[in-house]
Structure 1
Amino acid sequence: MRTLFLAPLIMLSACSTTAEPLRYGTSADMLVVGNKSEDTVSFIDLDTGAELARLATGSNPHEIAVSPDGETVAVVHYGGKSVELFDAEDPASIRTIDLGDNEGPHGIVWASNDRLIITTERSQSLTIVDLEDDSVRAIPTGQQVSHMVALTPDEETAFVANMGSGTVSVIDLKTGSKVRDIAAGDTPEGIAVSPTGKALWVADRDNATLIQFEIPTYREIRRYETGNFPIRVAVSPDGKRVVTSNYADGSLTVIDTDKAPQTIAVSGTQEAGQVTILFAEDGRHLFVAETGRAQVALVDLDTGEVVTRFDAGAGSDGLALAD
């Protein structure tokens, strides 16, 4: 049986003391954080900023995906070969799904037809879990370190960033087969697709570069310089902003269609261990996981300021917004 750790319902010192709900540009009620260094998941109330619960999970919980209704979250066990489902409304573990021979689950997307699309890095594959019956099937990438995944808006194509091979695999989810591999620098890791489905964004972390590809030709359109070691990419809901999370200097690089690229310092140091980034619905506020601080920063991209920080657990990394 898993243990539920209830935190005191005390407002974080960095949060506003107003009695009004603190939504931070999102209609979600809950911020869910995977604490990879202590094998737990934090559930943080966005109305108060308080950590309501911290639940034990499997080995090395990394990326997180939320169900279309916002009520259930899936957390990968990167240190093993399973994925765990949690109830967000009344935080509790629902069940754990064994991925069979597919090891090292990391990147994850929850598709609208209740399928989990998961990179299984150590097996060089993309694993599909059908939540109707928890059946599992894998599509080989044949590439090294298949780490992160992104889908087109129609959910017919998946893109897998292969850090060890310097490629992005294009996967046809209708046929369950790999279409091709795209050369994408030396160490492509962060990856995202525009809301229109016309642009693929890939961060080549060792070369501090963000590459834009055209979909479906996969022709390279442009390269942007970023901060040091861009480890994640996120696109705003309206598609007007593309942001990289720069691990080595604790900053964000913001590519705005209406402005010149800019850099925003979050912590300004590598010690913060900045990794995952997640947009709020307003496209203005960005949640930024700082693994070295056991916190999640909230950044206002319009002002370039850190609005507040939420306390989480050791190695706070994967992020999701839930109801």
Structure 2
Amino acid sequence: MKRLKYILILFVVLCSVLFLSIIVVRLPSYSIQTSGKLYIVSKVSREVQVFDLFTGKNIAEIPIDMFSHEAITTLDKNNVVLTNYGSTNGNTVKVVNTKTNILEKTIELKENIRANGIVAYPEPNKVGVIDYVRNTFFVLNVKTDSIEKRIQTKQEKSHLVVIHPYKLIAYVTNINSGSISVIDLKNNRVIKIIYCGVGRKGIDITPDGSEIWVTNTKENSMKIINTNTYEILDTFSTGDEPLKLKFSIDGKFCLVTNAHEGSIYVYDQQSKKKIKSIMLHGKNTLLERILYHTPRPVNILMHPNGLYAFVSNSNANKIEVIDMKTFKVVSTIGTEKVPDALVFVE
């Protein structure tokens, strides 16, 4: 009996040590100082967390009462605008004032619109939004709450969008059609459809506007497209389930989040070669699988100073901070449940 008692005590002690170890290793550890505020949208918690990147402290928590994973700032950075993808109330757009960190307004779009992808429009108080049911790119004025233009993508399940840095041209991914719609925003018409495989997901454009890179979650691949000729320049493999991608501020590198694999791949923009695999804690070893949450990197954002990238690790309720010189995770930010969209404001 004494032996059984000692075994039980030892078992309890070991379980307690393991439990405490799990708690300790999963704690976020923010150790850098840089400028600006990071707005973190947590889908399940239905709120926006405002994190001061210099002090390392949360300075606001803004309830938004909606399931959102796409957000952007207006051109003047005065507002963060959020869409309500994946909900029966997908015709709702919410606007957060970045000066007061208060939910300023809820815009109820009058029609049965399902807003998803969103991008800053190159005019004050305006954003470009994708309606994935009507397959439309529309311009929303968040000051007047009015839709100022609508342009059909002429494809199915339109999803995400980027705008050329120097031209009034938008590029929209279409999941079901396996294509990119190239839209002339000055003349309000589609000027090219680029077919590149069913499963188009993430999209980004090089800072000089010469190329768009597009991921495919069905094929675990990425295509590179020349924006002048619309020619597909290259196709190469990614990790498992490449959701989002983002170019570095100088355009030399492209980071891709592989959600199911739990990794971020770094590609050289000139050579089109993968130069680094950043594996997040949780899948590398058996011990990591015990101690950490299974990683799921989803959204990605670059700091304007070019020094850091921020990656939403949705399963772990953390933001992973990547040093853009070493391509290593150097800090983490604790979040509410299931972080996704990220927005930076100076």
- For the criterion TM > 0.5, the same-fold answer is yes
Amino acid at match of 2:55: T
Instruction: Give the CA deviation at 1:317.
Output: 0.3
TM-score, normalised by the number of residues in structure 2: 0.82
What is the rounded CA distance, in whole Å, between the counterparts of 1:267 and 1:208 in structure 2? 21
Judge conservation of contact 2:95–2:142 (CA < 8 Å) in 1: no
Aligned to 2:102: 92
In structure 2, the CA distance between the partners of 1:268 and 1:217, relative to structure 1 (3 Å rule), is farther
In structure 2, the CA distance between the partners of 1:138 and 1:258, relative to structure 1 (3 Å rule), is closer
Kindly indicate whether structure 1 or structure 2 has the higher relative contact order, using CA contacts under 8 Å at least 6 residues apart.
Answer: 1
TM-score, normalised by the number of residues in structure 1: 0.88
Amino acid at match of 1:124: N
Aligned to 1:294: 317
Aligned to 1:210: 222
What is the rounded CA distance, in whole Å, between the counterparts of 1:164 and 1:258 in structure 2? 30
Map 1:104-115; keep pairs closer than 5 Å.
104-114=114-124, 115=126
Aligned to 1:5: none
What is the rounded CA distance, in whole Å, between the counterparts of 2:183 and 2:314 in structure 1? 31
Q: 2:303 aligns with which of 270, 280, 299?
A: 280
In structure 2, the CA distance between the partners of 1:101 and 1:267, relative to structure 1 (3 Å rule), is farther
Map 1:74-93; keep pairs closer than 5 Å.
74-78=81-85, 79=87, 80-93=90-103
Instruction: Give the CA deviation at 1:13.
Output: 5.3
Q: 2:255 aligns with which of 230, 236, 243?
A: 243
Instruction: Give the CA deviation at 1:59.
Output: 2.3
Aligned to 1:227: 239
Q: Please state if 1:15 is matched with 2:30.
A: yes
What is the rounded CA distance, in whole Å, between the counterparts of 1:74 and 1:235 in structure 2? 22
Instruction: Give the CA deviation at 1:101.
Output: 2.2
Q: 1:266 aligns with which of 273, 280, 287?
A: 280
Cα deviation, 1:237-273, whole Å, max 9, x if unaligned, reads 2111111111111111111247741211134549322
The 3-state SS of whatever aligns with 1:272 is coil
The 3-state SS of whatever aligns with 2:218 is helix
What is the rounded CA distance, in whole Å, between the counterparts of 2:65 and 2:150 in structure 1? 21
Amino acid at match of 2:305: D
The 3-state SS of whatever aligns with 2:69 is strand
Aligned to 1:60: 67
**Cα RMSD (Å) of the superposition?**
2.0
What is the rounded CA distance, in whole Å, between the counterparts of 1:90 and 1:132 in structure 2? 16
The 3-state SS of whatever aligns with 2:294 is helix
Instruction: Give the CA deviation at 1:218.
Output: 0.7
Instruction: Give the CA deviation at 1:155.
Output: 4.6
Higher mean C-alpha displacement, 255-264 vs 200-209: 255-264
Q: Please state if 1:145 is matched with 2:160.
A: no
What is the rounded CA distance, in whole Å, between the counterparts of 2:176 and 2:135 in structure 1? 10
Amino acid at match of 1:282: N
- Number of residue pairs aligned between Structure 1 and Structure 2: 304
- The structure whose residues are more often helix, as a share, is 2
What is the rounded CA distance, in whole Å, between the counterparts of 1:161 and 1:146 in structure 2? 6
Runs (5+) with no aligned partner, structure 1: 1-11
Identity of aligned residues (%): 27
Higher mean C-alpha displacement, 51-60 vs 214-223: 51-60
Instruction: Give the CA deviation at 1:71.
Output: 3.1
Runs (5+) with no aligned partner, structure 2: 1-26, 284-292
Map 1:172-187; keep pairs closer than 5 Å.
172-187=184-199
Instruction: Give the CA deviation at 1:90.
Output: 2.2
The 3-state SS of whatever aligns with 1:206 is coil
Judge conservation of contact 1:167–1:188 (CA < 8 Å) in 2: yes
What is the rounded CA distance, in whole Å, between the counterparts of 1:113 and 1:320 in structure 2? 18
Higher mean C-alpha displacement, 151-160 vs 103-112: 103-112
The 3-state SS of whatever aligns with 1:207 is coil
In structure 2, the CA distance between the partners of 1:216 and 1:186, relative to structure 1 (3 Å rule), is same
